[in-house]
């Protein structure tokens, strides 16, 4: 029976989205939550009526795999086509009179296939005045190119394949331009995206209230105190150990006091109507509120004030004068001057708006050539706003990593297609087609991956019909292959050097695979498998990667620590036809994991063994790209071990934390295996010091002692402990409580 995805996850996501929508006061957050809830409702409805088969690479009924789908978190297709968008008036206006069609979209698509429409597509290709937002946008331009170059049969075959969806999908690009970073430059976001984010910045309510108090209510309060102080006979009231001393208010009424009272009340009313961020001045028992209520009651000569009211006025005056000084005094003036400096500073939201205004000078769909004109113009721009602007900076990927713009392998994978797309397109000799090819590749890489069960694989770029038909027109240029190999090597070194504690994430693995193919270096790069949908088997490339690992790591610290099998164990079985699965590899993983029952944790134990046996791509990349000398740097292992110790100081040592620590630990041992023995001993000694200093020796000491013992020649018992019980092999997954928690 085919494995099916449970709707339980989707129900949970829907519940979270609805809770967010009903509990937030932020309009933008509520809008996003409602949209998210709508997507999950579509997922559940499709699963219920059978129009969605979650887990399949063709999850939407009667839909080819190449169609770009809307995909919710976790890989759940909603059933919506991203290229199925309303026809814009300009599109319909450009359609020649007469094309048939059951929908406006079909009429537009068929209009593109007329002589006039094809001429417009050719003109767009010639000027590159178009934007490919989803891969489908490139389909009809490819038809135009084929026809323009004498390949009418291929063009007709492509149109025939697209024909069933002409009435639904947008198959031509949008007008405009998409500036591409030059050479090896990349950007994380466009100027327009960053500008929108900056303009959406708001001031936190507490900050807004504080600033309003300083700018509006404090000056009004000082005027109010001064008004009542004018009515005091004798010295102004103060607080002493014996209580309130000094004169009483409402005993004298200077000339013009009534007019000043009326003006103050008018100013207060205007301020109340305009400023609503702060409520401190309205606190019933506060000095401001007491003095205001009394002023509103007092028409003149305290006619409507009781003795109790006058007493409260006197107490309020004593409070503020004792605390801040008399009206007009140097003490009170110094306080207000200091507060005025704070109030005069622009808020982060105001600075964000200024930065957004400066970005208006740059094309919204491009990037920034430099940050200085935006962030260094006399303003003290906070670091987090500079970081936001830096997301639009076009720079070498290494610089973006150093600036903290690229913060993980996942983010690196998001920008890498900007380089890969140019390398992919470099094999296309026709410059116009090459530009279209590059935009299409970049758009394809923005597709979200589907949740796949069994041994299904994600849709590949060459499966797009309009890309497949172009394959004969792509050359295999040696210079492009060399450039791809160089980019692949530099990217791997950058990822391992910048994020040595993290396994290569799936999006980055896929992009590295594309570069490897372009470089003519086919290699078995492995994705991280999800424990909750694991189907107890692996494809053949896992065995190939395990053989590479056993060969590359033979005799090393890594091989001894994890007890790697000999390379001969992975000899390819003789068979009449290739197998998709590596059942022998799966059996070894299960035996090493000691899994007794199928469960998420049990699956995780098996998957972890597969990663150990293959180093999760590290040995494969090290051999293919000759990285050994570059990895023989004890600082790499040192960075990983320092990260591990920092993570262990987190109070909550849940399963995810222990898993991440164990995965990082494995990579640290891999890097250390390329170092000399003395460097290895120094690194382990430093690790022991860090563990002791962090106060986690009781929890993590067994792992350190186990590694140190293996370095001295010891071997773990089958249960992963040293014979004397002093040390243990660290693994991340268990079916019961973990000894390191």
Is residue 378 predicted with pLDDT exceeding 70? Answer: no
pLDDT of residue 217: 92
**pLDDT tens-digit profile of 13-63?**
889 989 898 888 778 788 888 999 999 899 899 888 888 988 888 999 999
* Continuous H helices in 427-521: 431-445, 465-468, 478-498, 506-518
Q: How many CA atoms lie within 13 A of 188 on its CB side?
A: 22
CB 422 within 8 A of CB 178: no
pLDDT tens digits, residue range 418-456? 888 888 888 888 999 999 999 999 999 999 988 888 778
Q: Distance of alpha carbon 718 from its chain centroid, rounded?
A: 41
The string of pLDDT tens digits covering residues 156-202 is 999 999 999 999 999 999 888 777 666 678 999 999 999 999 998 88
Cα–Cα dist 374/381, whole Å? 10
What's the whole-number average pLDDT of the chain? 90
- pLDDT tops 70 at residue 609: yes
pLDDT mean over 686-706: 94
| Contact (CB, 8 A) for 389 and 355 | yes
Separation CA 560–CA 577 (nearest Å): 35
Secondary structure of residue 272 in the 3-state scheme: helix
**295-315 tens-digit pLDDT:** 988 865 556 788 888 999 999
Distances (CA, A) of 323 to 222, 289, 317, 604: 13, 17, 10, 64
Q: Which residues of 485-524 are buried (b: 16+ CB within 10 A; e: fewer)?
A: bebbbbbbbbbbbbbbbbbbbbbbbbbbbbbbbbbebebb
């Amino acid at each position: 029976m085919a494995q099916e995805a449970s709707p339980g996850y989707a129900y949970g996501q829907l519940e979270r989205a609805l809770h967010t929508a009903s509990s937030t006061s932020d309009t933008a957050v509520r809008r996003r939550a409602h949209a998210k809830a709508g997507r999950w409702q579509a997922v559940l409805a499709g699963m219920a009526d059978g129009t969605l088969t979650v887990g399949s690479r063709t999850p939407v009924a009667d839909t080819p795999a190449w169609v770009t789908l809307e995909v919710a978190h976790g890989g759940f297709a909603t059933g919506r086509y991203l290229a199925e968008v309303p026809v814009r008036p300009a599109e319909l206006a450009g359609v020649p009179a007469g094309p048939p069609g059951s929908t406006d979209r079909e009429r537009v698509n068929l209009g593109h296939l007329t002589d006039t429409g094809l001429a417009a597509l050719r003109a767009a290709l010639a000027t590159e005045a178009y934007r490919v937002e989803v891969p489908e946008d490139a389909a009809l331009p490819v038809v135009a190119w084929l026809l323009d170059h004498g390949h009418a049969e291929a063009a007709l075959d492509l149109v025939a394949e697209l024909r069933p969806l002409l009435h639904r999908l947008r198959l031509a690009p949008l007008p405009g331009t998409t500036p591409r970073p030059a050479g090896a430059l990349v950007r994380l976001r466009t100027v327009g995206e960053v500008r929108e984010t900056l303009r959406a910045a708001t001031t936190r309510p507490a900050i807004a209230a504080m600033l309003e108090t300083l700018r509006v209510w404090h000056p009004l309060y000082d005027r109010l105190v001064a008004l009542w102080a004018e009515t005091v006979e004798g010295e102004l009231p103060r607080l002493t150990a014996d209580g309130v001393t000094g004169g009483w208010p409402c005993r004298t009424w200077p000339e013009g006091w009534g007019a000043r009272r009326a003006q103050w009340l008018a100013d207060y009313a205007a301020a109340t109507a305009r400023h609503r961020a702060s409520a401190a001045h309205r606190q019933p028992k506060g000095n401001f509120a007491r003095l205001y209520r009394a002023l509103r009651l007092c028409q003149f000569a305290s006619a409507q004030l009781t003795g109790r009211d006058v007493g409260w006025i006197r107490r309020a005056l004593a409070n503020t004068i004792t605390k801040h000084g008399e009206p007009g005094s140097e003490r009170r003036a110094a306080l207000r001057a200091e507060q005025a400096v704070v109030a005069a500073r622009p808020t982060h939201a105001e600075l964000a708006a200024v930065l957004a205004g400066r970005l208006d000078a740059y094309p919204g769909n491009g990037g920034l050539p430099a940050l200085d004109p935006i962030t260094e113009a006399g303003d003290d721009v906070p670091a987090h706003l500079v970081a936001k602007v830096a997301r639009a900076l076009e720079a070498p990927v290494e610089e973006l990593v150093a600036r903290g713009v690229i913060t993980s392998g996942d983010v690196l994978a998001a920008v890498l297609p900007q380089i890969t797309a140019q390398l992919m397109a470099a094999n296309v000799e026709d410059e116009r087609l090459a530009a279209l090819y590059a935009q299409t590749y970049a758009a394809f890489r923005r597709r979200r991956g589907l949740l796949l069960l069994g041994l299904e694989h994600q849709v590949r770029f060459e499966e797009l019909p309009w890309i497949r038909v172009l394959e004969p027109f792509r050359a295999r240029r040696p210079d492009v292959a060399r450039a791809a190999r160089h980019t692949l090597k530099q990217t791997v070194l950058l990822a391992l050097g910048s994020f040595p504690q993290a396994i290569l994430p799936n999006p980055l693995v896929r992009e590295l695979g594309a570069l490897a193919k372009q470089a003519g270096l086919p290699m078995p790069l492995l994705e991280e498998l999800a424990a909750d949908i694991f189907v107890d088997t692996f494809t053949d490339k896992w065995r190939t990667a395990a053989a590479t690992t056993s060969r590359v790591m033979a005799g090393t610290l890594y091989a001894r620590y994890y007890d790697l099998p000999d390379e001969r164990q992975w000899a390819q079985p003789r068979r009449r036809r290739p197998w998709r699965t590596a059942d022998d590899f799966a059996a070894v993983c299960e035996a090493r994991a000691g899994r007794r029952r199928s469960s998420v944790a049990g699956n995780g134990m098996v998957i972890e063994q597969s990663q150990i046996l293959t180093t999760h791509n590290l040995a494969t990349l090290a051999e293919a790209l000759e990285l050994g000398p570059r990895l023989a740097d004890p600082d790499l292992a040192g960075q990983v071990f320092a990260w591990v110790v920092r993570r262990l100081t987190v109070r909550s040592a849940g399963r995810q934390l222990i898993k991440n620590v164990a995965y990082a630990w494995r990579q640290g041992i891999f890097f250390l295996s390329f170092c000399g023995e003395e460097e290895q001993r120094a690194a382990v000694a430093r690790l022991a010091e860090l563990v002791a200093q962090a106060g986690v020796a009781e929890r993590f000491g067994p792992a350190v002692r186990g590694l140190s013992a293996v370095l001295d020649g010891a071997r773990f018992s089958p249960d992963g402990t040293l014979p004397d019980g002093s040390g243990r092999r660290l693994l991340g997954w268990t079916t019961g409580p973990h000894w390191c928690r």
